[in-house]
């Protein structure tokens, strides 16, 4: 399968994102692989989630925990439902309804959007909204059939959402505060080295505490993922929403 103008345009954007670290020859091999080429083609046809993410990062070994140690990097592709983002990535988003095929002979059209997410995905999205979309919406004067009240409500919602993002960033930056074990039990641990020798109340305390930590960490991660997906959905659909308002 040969590369269409759409494939070539996407390849250029990927190289633009990761250059000079990523070499053109490696990119060409990646995008011409049958499995990757098919994913792009299906994406152009309107099949799937309507978005693609491209990562350039050290290989993930199945069954092993991710390590911060740098290693040889490789390109990978995801529809957003899998893949760990540990470095910056780029994404492509269809700006037309699902099922509507893109014209493969064209490139650089508004029906296909491109963007980058930095090492801090939340920070990147906040910057996109506050520094790009919000100023654009504040000065936009062609709202079509949208009346002043609807326009005001829409812009107000964007402002509130940006505020929520900033609060989330502050929360995530401060991290988790896990409750420390009872200080009295430290003295018990210093004397009793075997778990079976610990008092029952100490064992119960640590089991309850561990369960509390696990639940707190799980809620923290769920919140982070939920907010990230909400912000991403807002960003990738914002252009489409403005177009609908005009009609």
Tens-level pLDDT at each residue, the chain (247 residues): 678 999 999 999 999 999 899 999 999 999 999 999 999 999 999 998 888 999 998 876 555 554 555 678 899 998 877 766 667 889 999 988 888 999 999 888 889 988 888 777 667 777 777 777 778 778 877 777 878 888 888 888 778 777 777 776 666 555 667 777 777 766 666 555 555 566 777 778 888 888 888 887 777 766 666 666 665 566 555 554 544 444 5
Which H helix or E strand runs over 84? none
Are the C-beta atoms of 65 and 42 separated by less than 8 Å? no
How many Å is the maximal CA-CA distance in the chain? 76
Write down the pLDDT at residue 7: 93
Dihedrals phi, psi of 103, to nearest 5 degrees: -75, 110
Alpha-carbon distance 247 to 174, whole Å?
44
Edge-first strand listing for the sheet containing 112-117? 73-78, 51-58, 89-94, 112-117
Write down the pLDDT at residue 243: 45
Helix or strand or coil: residue 155? Answer: helix
Write down the pLDDT at residue 219: 75
Nearest Cα to Cα of residue 42 among 115, 94, 88: 94
ω before 20 within 30° of 0 (cis)? Answer: yes
Alpha-carbon distance 88 to 117, whole Å?
5
Alpha-carbon distance 57 to 73, whole Å?
5
Alpha-carbon distance 247 to 242, whole Å?
9
Alpha-carbon distance 86 to 68, whole Å?
9
Write down the pLDDT at residue 242: 47
């Amino acid at each position: 399968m040969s590369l269409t103008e759409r494939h070539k345009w996407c390849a250029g954007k990927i190289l633009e994102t990761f250059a000079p670290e990523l070499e053109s020859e490696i990119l060409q091999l990646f995008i011409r692989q049958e499995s990757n080429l098919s994913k792009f083609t299906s994406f152009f046809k309107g099949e799937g989630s309507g978005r693609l993410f491209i990562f350039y990062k050290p290989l993930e070994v199945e069954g092993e925990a991710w390590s911060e140690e740098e290693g040889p990097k490789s390109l990978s592709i995801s529809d957003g439902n899998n893949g760990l983002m540990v470095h910056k990535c780029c994404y492509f988003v269809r700006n037309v309804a699902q099922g509507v095929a893109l014209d493969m002979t064209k490139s650089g059209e508004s029906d296909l959007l491109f963007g980058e997410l930095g090492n801090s995905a939340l920070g990147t999205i906040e910057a996109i909204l506050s520094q790009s979309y919000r100023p654009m919406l504040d000065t936009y004067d062609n709202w079509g059939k949208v009346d002043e009240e609807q326009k005001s409500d829409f812009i107000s919602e964007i402002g509130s959402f940006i505020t929520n993002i900033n609060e989330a960033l502050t929360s995530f930056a401060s991290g988790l505060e896990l409750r420390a074990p009872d200080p009295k039990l430290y003295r018990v641990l210093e004397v009793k080295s075997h778990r079976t020798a610990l008092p029952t109340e100490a064992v119960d305390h640590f089991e309850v505490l561990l369960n509390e930590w696990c639940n707190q960490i799980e809620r923290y991660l769920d919140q982070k993922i939920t907010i990230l997906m909400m912000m991403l959905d807002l960003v990738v659909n914002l252009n489409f929403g403005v177009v609908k308002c005009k009609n």
